[in-house]
Each structure stands twice: as C-alpha cells, then as structure tokens.
Structure 1
Amino acid sequence: MHKTKIYFVVFLALNLFRLEATAQEAPPLETLQLNLKETLEYALENNVDAKNARLEVMVSQTTIKEETAAGLPQVNGSVGVNYNPLVQVVFLPNAPPFGDPTNPSDVIPARFGVNYSANAGVNMTQMIFDGSFFVGLRAAKTYKALTELNKVKVENDVIENVKKAYFGVLVNAERIKLSQANLTRIDSLLEETKAMNEAGFSEKIEVSRIQVQRNNTFSQLKRSITAYDISKQLLKIQLGLPKNYDLVITETLAELNPEEDLSRLQTMEQSHRVEMDQLNTNMELTQLDLKYNTSQYIPTLDLNANFTRSGAGDSFNTLFKSSNWFSSSMIGVAMNIPIFDGLAKSARIQRNRIQLQQLENQKYYLDGNIQLEIFQARQNLANDMEVLAVQKESMALAKEVYDISKIKYNEGVGSNLEVVDADAALIESEINYLGALYDGLISKVDLEKALGILKEGIND
C-alpha cells in the first residue's frame, strides 16, 4: 500500500513536470496592431489567394520564355556504343566470277559488320518560317496581361472580404461595449431595488423582474463576446495571419466616421471595372487562337544540320582507335506542307468564331449587369442610411424614456415595470442601431465594388 502511494506521487509529479514543460515550450502570442488601411495592405501581401495570383503572373512569364525558345536554335547531342554478340550474316550467290569453287553450296555467307560500334554527334534545327510562332508568342504575352488582370480581380475580392470582416469586428466590439454598459446600468438598478426591498419600499417581484432583465443582458454580452471572437478569427484567416499572432484593431467606428463616408459615396462616379478588362483580354486571346489555327494552313520551313563521328572495331580495345573513326555531316532545308487533316483545323476555326460570339454576348451582359449592380448598391445604401437615421433617433428616444422612467421610479412616482420595459427598449434600440450601421457598412463595400473603387487609398 505504501509503495502504491509512492508510485502515484511520482507519476503525478512527472505529469505536472511534463505539463509545465509543455506550457513553457508554447511560444507566446505576438500582437499585431492595425488600422483599416494597414489591415488591407497586410491582406494584399499575405492573403493566400493574393499570393497565388502573384505566383500565377510569374508562371505566365515563364510561358513567354517557353514560347520564345521555340524560335531559337534547337541543339541536341547524342553518344552511343553498341555491342553485337552475333553479327548479322548476309548471303551472296556462289557464282563466277567471284564464287568459291571449293564451296559446294550455291550461296556464300558474308558477315557485314563488326562486334563493336560507336557514334557521337550534334544535331541542330532552326525554324526559318512558321506563321504560328509569332501568333503564339503574342498569345503568351496576352495571357500574361490576363493573369495580371486576374491578380487585380483577386485583390479586389480580398479587399471586399477583409473590409466586411473588419467592419464585423468593429460592430461586435461596439456591441460588447454597449452590453457591458447595459449590464452595469442594470446591476446598479438591481442593487437599488434590492436595498429598497430590504427596507420594505418595494416588492420581491420587482427584484425578480430586474434579475430576469439582468440575466438577459448578461446573455447578450456573452453572445456579443462570442460573435466578436468569431469575427476576429474570420478576419485573421482573410489576412493570412499566422496562428501565433493576435490581432488588435486600433480604430473604432466613431473614428472611421462611417455615416459621413456613407453619404459621400452616394455622389461618387463609376470608375473602371477590371471584369471588363478581363473579358476584353479573353476576347483578344480567342482572336489570337483563331489566327493560330488559320496559320496552320501555311507551310513551315526549317533548317536542319548535323555532324557525326562514327567508329567500329572487332574488339573493344580497337573501338576507340582514331584510325577507326570517321566523320559525316549534313545540312538541309525541310518544308512541311499541310494538305489534308480531316477538316480538324476547319472545325477549330469554326469553334473560335462561335466563342467570339459568346464573348460578345457576355460583354453586353456584363455592361448591363455592372449598371444594375451600381443601381442596386446605391438603392440599398440609401435605404440603409434612412434606416440608420431612424434607428439613431429611436436609440436617443429610448435613452430619454429610460432616464425619465428611472427618475420617476427613484422619486416614487413611477413603477419598476416601467423602468424594466424602458431598459429593454433601450437595449433593443441599441442592437437595432448597430445592426443598421453594419448593414450600411456592408452596402458601402458593395457600392465601392460596383463603382470599381475598392482599392482607392491603398498603398498611396
């Protein structure tokens, strides 16, 4: 029994030591403090999608080099050594004047070859004319331009998502502040009511009524804290922030002055949309593909040249004697003339022309859709601003009603129920105001996207 206790103590001590060592090994969280502009700049640099978009531009640069290489000389070398255990025999007729009278057979076996042979050579091919080469080179450069436009589109998407997540964090932070202020207010009222109940000036039901309100306010605070933590984690993911970093936002909604920004945005003019540039570039690529397929009907002309050294010997020792090695070379021009390919090129050309018609239809649709996006975003923002103004007024009225109810209750001319109802109305008006403010900020981002000004003010 005594030994069992000793083993248990040792086991417990070892586990505590292991837990302490693990806690010491865990790296401390580093704090990153950012405002909205710094947050967007950090996201454009570290977001995974933004990184991949930049890498795709680099990939397109290698495509240009690859296409350029097709027009440069193609040089290949070759070295080979062959061993023939059994050299092939060629049969010759055993007939005069070169026949062998002593050989009774009508054929003479002759071995044309040696046991060992080797060769080393260089082959060079240079394109002289190929109509598709210049089209392909231009297409590679156009593809690079498309990847750069795709990068801009991805950056716009990153900015949109980060802004919405950033505003979500700010609004949830304000909800926490309001919930804490509400909890402090209701706690003060609860203490006063308890004191009055103990002194016999109020009933127990009044204390219970405020306690219920206090519990609801506390639950609201917990929900706000949870929403804040979730929104901050979402923002960290959008930023590409490492796990060992904690994010601290250095701005508040009041400092951003969102209501002024919402009003200013309504009068802004449309800027250029990258989606239209992407569509135009895709049309250019399709036109180049059409030219490429058309150029396949044109003959191609190539220069070919090679130089070879060959050697042979009946044994491996004599294979590399200089006297057994001989040189040969060739220079020639080859023309490839397409005659008939089963109408494959014709089908590809027809497909390109249909694709161009599709892109024209998409361009018309995109232009109309952009105008619709702007109209909807302006209408939504205008509606949200009206709702925001109403909710702001309602919040001020609810605060006034609560103050009056509290004064009347303290002076003994008002009821506890009026105070509780006024407090609940105040809390609801605050929640509605923050909800309307968040909706307005989201509509603001949507309108910035529709106008094509999401990147405005970044990296200035």
Structure 2
Amino acid sequence: MIKVILLCVFPGSFCPLRSRIITWFKGFDAILKELNMHLMCPIIPIKKSFYILIFAALSFSVRAQQRLTLKQCIDYGLTHHRSTAVYRNDVDAAGYKAKEAQAAYLPSVNITSTIDDNIKVQQQVIPAGVFGPTDIKVAFTKRFNSNAFAQVDQTIFDKSLLTGLKANKIALKEAQLTGEQNEETLIYNISNAYYQIFVYRQQLALLKTNLGTYQQQLTISKLQLEKGVAMESDVNKIQVNYNNTNSQVLSAESDLELAHNQLRNAMGYAINDSLQIEYFVLDEPSADQARTALGDFSSFNAANRIDFKLSEVKIALLDIDQARIRATAIPKLTAYAKYGGIGFGDNPGESFSSISDYAAVGIKLSIPVFDGFKRNAQYNQARIKQVNARENLKIDQETFHLEYNNARTKLIKAQSTLDNDKGNISLAESVFKSTDLQYQKGVAGLTDWLNSQYSLKEAQSNYLNSLYNFLIAKIDLEKANGTLKTFHHSL
C-alpha cells in the first residue's frame, strides 16, 4: 500500500527519493510491530493516521517546490491578478449598460398615489350675468382629495433611441479590448520581472565564481606571506578585492530577492508565499539568425495594436453619437394607457370611500420645433470630437510605426552587442587563465593578475547588461508589434 501511495505522490523523476522513503517506512513498520507485541494493544489506527499525515506533508512539500516557467507565471497572472477581475467586471457592466439602453424601448409601468389636504380650498369665480347679477365664488373641490392610478407607457418610435442602441455592441467590444490590453500589460510586466530574475541569477553565479577565485588566491597569498615570499600589501590588495566582491554578492542576493517580489506583484502572487522559478537556458541566436527571425516582423500592421483598435472603437462611438443627436430632431411617437380612481371628501376617510374609477388610452406625438440651437451646438461638438479622434488615430499610427522601428533597431543592436560581449567574456577568461598561470610561475606580478581579473569582471558586467537589454528588447518588439499574446502562446 505504501508503494502505491508513493507512486501517486512521487512521480518517476523522484524515484531515488521514493525508494529511500519506502525503506524508511519498512523500518518504521518493524518498530510498530515490536511495540504492538510489547504493549499488547492495537495500534493500527495510529499507524494509518501517521501514514496519512506524512503522505499529506510530503505531497504538499513536492508541490510547494514546483518551479514555474515563464509561461506558467504568465498563466497564473492572467488568472489570479486582481486587475483581471476588475476588467471582467467592466465587461459585465457594459452588458448591463446595454440592457439599460434597451429598456427605453420596452414598456414601463408606474403606479402613483396621492392624497391632498387643501387647507384653504381654491375658489373659482363665475362672472356676473351667468347665474345672477353679481359674481359668484365657487369651490369646485373639497378639502381632501385622493388619487391613485397605474400608467403604462410604450415608445412606438424614437429614432434617437434606436440609433443609441447601436452603441451597445461597440461599448461591449471596447470593454473587452480594454481587458485584452490589461492582459498584454500583465504579460509584459511578468516577462520583464522574470527576465530580471534570470539576469540576477547569472550575475550572482559569476560573482560567486569570482569570489571563489579571490578566496583561493587569498589563501595562497597568506601562506606565501607566512613563508616570507609575499608582501603584506599584496595580501591586502587581494583582500580588498575579495571584500568588494563579497559586498557585490550580498547586493546581488538582495536584488534577486527584490526581483522575486516584483514578479510576485506582477503575477498577483501573495508576497509572503514561496515562489520558485525554473532555471532555464537562454536560447541566444547568432546575429544572422536574429536578422532572419526579424523577417517575421518585416511587415508592420498598426491594426494589430490594441491601442489602435480602441481608438477605432471610440471613433465608431462618436459616429453613433453624432447620428443620435441628429435623430433628436425627428418626431417621437409614444402610447400610454392609464387606469385609476379619484375621490373627494371633507375628511381623509370620506375621500377614500367616495373613490370613482376612470381609464384612458392615448397616443402622444412630440415634434421638436425650436430648442434655441441646442441640438445644433451638441451636434457640432460631437462632429469636432469625431474629426479630432480620426486625426489622433493617424498620429498614433505614425507613433506606433516609430515605436516598432525603434524596437526592431534596438533588438538588432542588442543582439550584436550580446554576441560581442559574450565573445569578450571568453577572451577575458582566456587572458585571466594565462595571467594566472604566469603569476603562479612567478613570471607575472600581482598587479597583472588583478588587472586581468578586473577586466574579466568588467566583461562579465557588460555581458549581463547586454543580456538584459537583449531580453527586454525582445518583449519590447513584441509589444510594439502587438503580438504579446502570440509571444505568450509560443512559450
């Protein structure tokens, strides 16, 4: 049974660990049997509970140590980052806004009830000569009157409402595009933070290698000092370089931890939870291969950019707004039906007991004649906004093309710089090995040894900078070309 459970908890890649645990549990079984013989009591339930607890802990530990690739980090961020929930809510809100607009063309039912206390009843005057030689003042109501009615209104024709309904689908598309834009932002930020971790790891590995070199040389120099074949100043020079490199290691470790925190934040990952990142080998194409790969980006299309699509959507909304304002000049036709009751009395109770019902149906035609040029002003405002939006789209189109060309140029330059700096590291390492050998034989001095080591460190620093610039240039080009989601799917 133990083997079956362990096969589930530990896959084939954990075979050595699995076999050791099986051996350990066999020993634990023997101990339990011995205890059972001496104590003369059943301990099987305890054993089962113990096994369950251990297996649960081991399973959790294996899962906790899972290392995430860049694609897995992006997938997590697209699912768990809080901004995704915000933009999903915006899409839902756009759907409800569409329903709100549609409601204007659906029947509306209202129930109204009033009771009036006419503290001083208004009187009307019947002119003299109608019922007598003098004016007669008469009240045509009583102190209390109650009224309750239900009314159904239905829009039959309203061109402005019908035009406005066309904006619903476009507004929903705008909300969806904004959500996609947020996804691209997450992909970019997560990739940036992930590549930072990769470069800091490279930096830390190189610094630790340099630290080991200084440590080894420091040990040798101290022994030489004890034997009187080395000067104390030489030992101090190496000690200073060792201390400086050690400080750089501590700083790089701090930078690496900060980069992990940045990645957690970009992913929407809990800041206090452990996050393990997969070690990966960067596929560094040659300059010729990079130029060949860039052929895929030779034909730039601004329509791939989410920003461009959002601008087009806003122009479409402004077009509809223009048509809606123009349509307000067209007559509107509505129908209504009303049923209610009205009562009068000298006290509230009498006004309710004397209620008599009434009903009415009708059609209302509203013809706009003159609104003080308000409609004309609104239309011209919408027209100017639409013209400006089209001009801004042309400006954005040129800006997008510029961003693309700049990103493409930066990637080509970053690739060439990376190739040069990578080759320079090999050259610096060769020089240092040669100088180190000469120093051990006494042909070269300590100054030459330190200079060659410093040149190697400088070459390493240049390589790390060009490596980071190359990685960022890659995702900058994907962003400029509007293909960040394609980049994500290709990982």
The interval holding the TM-score normalised by the smaller chain is 0.7 to 0.9
Tell me what 1:171 maps to.
199
Question: What is the aligned residue count?
Answer: 421
Q: Which residue matches 1:205?
A: 233
* Aligned match of 1:304: 336
Aligned pair in 2 of structure 1 residues 151, 206: CA closer, same or farther (>3 Å)?
A: same
**Is 1:416 the equivalent of 2:446?**
yes
Distance across 1 between alignment mates of 2:103 and 2:247? 68
CA distance in 2, matches of 1:196, 1:158: 57
Residue 160 of structure 1 contacts residue 445 of structure 1 at CA under 8 Å; is this kept in 2?
yes
TM-aligned CA deviation for residue 262 of structure 1: 5.4
Tell me, in whole angstroms, the C-alpha distance in 2 between the residues paired with 1:135 and 1:206. 86
Question: Unpaired segments of 5 or more residues in structure 1?
Answer: 1-29, 100-105
Q: In structure 1, which of residues 432, 457, 460 is the aligned counterpart of residue 462 of structure 2?
A: 432
Distance 1:265 1:59, change over 3 A: farther
Question: Residues 206, 98 of structure 1: CA spacing in aligned structure 2 closer, same or farther, 3 A cutoff?
Answer: same
Cα gap change, 1:79/1:113 in structure 2, threshold over 3 Å: closer, same or farther?
same
Q: How far off is 1:98 after superposition?
A: 7.8
Counterpart position of 2:406: 376
Question: Which residue of 65, 74, 78 corresponds with 2:99?
Answer: 65
The higher-RCO structure (CA 8 Å, 6+ apart) is: 1
Distance 1:219 1:179 in 2: 10
Select the residue among 157, 164, 176 that pairs with 1:129.
157
Pick aligned residue for 1:295 from 304, 319, 327: 327
**Compared CA separation, residues 422 and 153, structure 1 to 2 (3 A):** same
Q: Is the 8 A contact 1:87 1:113 kept in 2?
A: yes
1:352 is matched with 382
Q: Deviations over 1:65-110 (max 9, x none)?
A: 01000000111111223344555566779999789xxxxxx88776
- Residues 165/189 of structure 1: CA separation in 2 closer, same or farther (3 Å cut): same
Distance 1:84 1:351, change over 3 A: closer
Q: Which runs of 5+ in 2 are unaligned?
A: 1-63
1:166 Cα deviation (Å)?
A: 1.5
- The verdict on how the C-alpha distance between 1:374 and 1:97 changes in structure 2, with shifts beyond 3 A counting, is closer
Query: What is the aligned partner in structure 2 of residue 224 from structure 1?
Result: 252
The range that moved more, 345-354 or 81-90, is: 81-90
Determine helix, strand or coil for the equivalent of 1:245. coil
Higher relative strand content: 1
CA distance in 2, matches of 1:65, 1:96: 59
Q: Is the 2:478–2:487 contact (alpha carbons within 8 Å) kept by the matching residues of 1?
A: no
Deviation for aligned residue 1:370: 2.6
Corresponding residue to 1:148 among 166, 176, 179: 176
1:316 Cα deviation after fit: 4.3
Instruction: Give the whole-Å Cα distance in 2 for the aligned partners of 1:80 and 1:117.
Output: 8
Task: Tell me the percent identity.
Answer: 27
Greater shift in the superposed pair: 264-273 or 373-382: 264-273
Q: Secondary structure at the match of 1:75?
A: strand
**Is the Cα contact below 8 Å between 2:187 and 2:488 reproduced in 1?**
no
Q: Corresponding residue for 2:315?
A: 283
DSSP 3-state at the match of 1:34 = coil
Contact 2:421-2:466 within 8 A present in 1 as well:
yes
State the 1:296 CA deviation: 1.4
User: What is aligned with 1:215?
Assistant: 243
Q: Determine the C-alpha separation between the residues in 2 that align with 1:155 and 1:222.
A: 35
* Aligned-partner Cα distance in 1 for 2:380–2:139: 59
Q: Distance in 2 between matches of 1:93 and 1:368?
A: 81
Alignment deviations for residues 122-160 of structure 1 (CA, whole Å, 9 cap, x no partner): 012111111111111111221111221222222222222
Find out whether 1:118 has 2:146 as its counterpart: yes
TM-aligned CA deviation for residue 170 of structure 1: 1.4
Letter of the structure 2 residue corresponding to residue 132 of structure 1: S
Q: Specify the code of the residue in structure 1 equivalent to 2:250.
A: K
Task: Determine the C-alpha separation between the residues in 2 that align with 1:291 and 1:437.
Answer: 54
C-alpha offsets along residues 183-238 of structure 1, whole Å, 9 cap, x if unaligned?
12211111111111111121111101101111111121122122222222222222
Residue identity in the other structure for 1:420:
L
After the TM superposition, which residues 193-342 of structure 1 pair with which residues of structure 2 at under 5 Å, given as runs? 193-252=221-280, 254=281, 256-259=282-285, 265-269=293-297, 270=300, 272-321=304-353, 324-342=354-372
Residue in 2 aligned with 1:162?
A: 190
Q: Tell me if structure 2 keeps the 8 A contact 1:171–1:438.
A: yes
- 1:284 maps to amino acid: A
Can you list the C-alpha shifts for 1:4-32, whole angstroms capped at 9, x where unaligned? xxxxxxxxxxxxxxxxxxxxxxxxxx878
TM-score where L is the length of structure 2: 0.79
The structure in which a higher percent of residues are helix is 2
Cα separation, partners in 2 of 1:32 and 1:326, compared to 1, 3 Å:
farther
| Post-superposition CA distance 1:239-266 (Å, at most 9, x none) | 22223323221133x1x42447956642
**C-alpha spacing 1:421/1:268, structure 2 compared with 1 (3 Å):** same
Secondary structure of 2:401's match? helix
Q: Contact 1:32–1:245 (CA<8 Å) still a contact in 2?
A: no
> Is the Cα–Cα contact under 8 Å of residues 114 and 148 in structure 2 kept in the other structure?
yes
Q: What CA distance in whole angstroms lies between the structure 1 residues aligned with 2:129 and 2:384?
A: 73
Aligned partner of 1:406 among 436, 446, 457: 436
Cα offsets for 1:306-339 (capped at 9, x unmatched): 1111233334444443xx2211112111111111
Quote the Cα distance in structure 2 between the aligned partners of 1:238 and 1:68: 39
Q: Which amino acid aligns with 2:334?
A: D
Distance 1:32 1:57, change over 3 A: farther
Q: What is the distance in 1 between the residues matched to 2:489 and 2:418?
A: 31
1:81 corresponds, among 115, 126, 139, to 115
**What is the RMSD of the two structures over their aligned residues, measured on CA atoms?**
2.7
Q: Which stretch of structure 1 is more off in the superposition, 159-168 or 41-50?
A: 41-50
Q: Distance in 2 between matches of 1:91 and 1:395?
A: 110
Alignment of 1:30-41 (within 5 A): 33-41=67-75
Describe the shift of the 1:259–1:231 C-alpha distance in structure 2 as closer, same or farther (beyond 3 A): farther
